[in-house]
Amino acid sequence: MKKIQLGTSGLRVPAIAVGCMRMDRLTKTEAETVIKTALDQGANFFDHADVYGGGACEEIFADAIGMDSNVRESMFLQSKCGIRKGQFDFSKEHILSSVEGILKRLRTDYLDVLLLHRPDALVEPQEVAEAFDQLANSGKVRHFGVSNQNPMQIQLLKKHVKQPIVANQLQLSITHATMISQGINVNMLNESAVNRDGSILDFCRLHDITIQPWSPFQYGFFEGVFLDNAKFPELNKTIDAIADRYNVANTTVALAWLLRHPAEMQPVTGTMNVQRLQDCAKAADIDLTREEWYDIYRAAGNVLP
């Protein structure tokens, strides 16, 4: 699979990450099949979070793959912390205890990447910096990032945090593309011109932070997928025509749309279906033309000024 540079980490990682949020719905055998299918496709970057399945997703993952030192070195492991029931928590104590739990469940001594999971309104950047220093110095976390943060929130962290922020997970799909649309509609009076995120796309590109789009097939906030959805007839007609042209599935084209963007994003898939996972992996080999990219963009209802 095509490799990309993960921020300033020095890591060369697969262009597509495998999200494990739904792994707790699988049996051990099913989970093993999904993980091995991903590895066979060259998709050896796995994204976790301590809240996925209440920690069960990480446990099932480690058990299914038979985690040991040899297996561990064949993959990249990323996890997230900071979400607690009814609140967010970026306190030093919570970050450190969360990582201990993650490492125990994944049966590993270290994470390649740790992300702060959604912004905490009560964050004290000095505490985050102390936690990151302790985790980095102990070797328990090698690289750090954030999730769903805007430029000023990242800048506030960077005032105290010494380690580079290498990734930012953000919701992005063909039907949830506000961070792209506002850049196209600069100085316009339409809805698409509203800057909701402080130009986070350009900020991440300027600061070499890899954007990891989550929910790449969703519309709204987990309202459903747009593929094969009667609510999006023109979009599916356009995607299907392009899919026929490349002899691939519509899933492949939808993910290739994100990969075509020059920001070199790393989309995070969420499927536990082996065939769809294989279709996702094929997207790394598809290079949509400029015309195809814009055809899909417009077919989703996005208007060019």
Which amino acids are annotated catalytic? 52
First CA to last CA across the chain, in angstroms? 36
Q: Which sign does the torsion angle of CA 4, 68, 141, 270 carry?
A: positive
Residue 20 is encoded by which pair of tokens?
A: 């494990």
Q: Compute the distance between CA of residue 223 and CA of residue 146 in angstroms, rounded to an integer.
A: 24
Apex 215 CA angle, 72 and 52, nearest 5: 50
Q: Return the half-sphere exposure (C-beta side, CA atoms, 13 A cut-off) of residue 66.
A: 5
3-state SS of the chain: helix, strand, coil percent to 5?
Answer: 45, 20, 40
Going by C-beta distance under 8 Å and a sequence separation of 6 or more, which residues neighbour residue 45? 13, 14, 16, 17, 18, 75, 76, 78, 266
Asked if residue 253 lies in contact with residue 246, where contact means CB atoms within 8 angstroms, the answer is yes
What residue type is assigned to position 75 of the chain? Answer: M
Residue 270 is encoded by which pair of tokens?
A: 């969420």
Q: In whole angstroms, how far apart are CA 243 and each of 26, 255, 280, 300? A: 29, 11, 13, 16
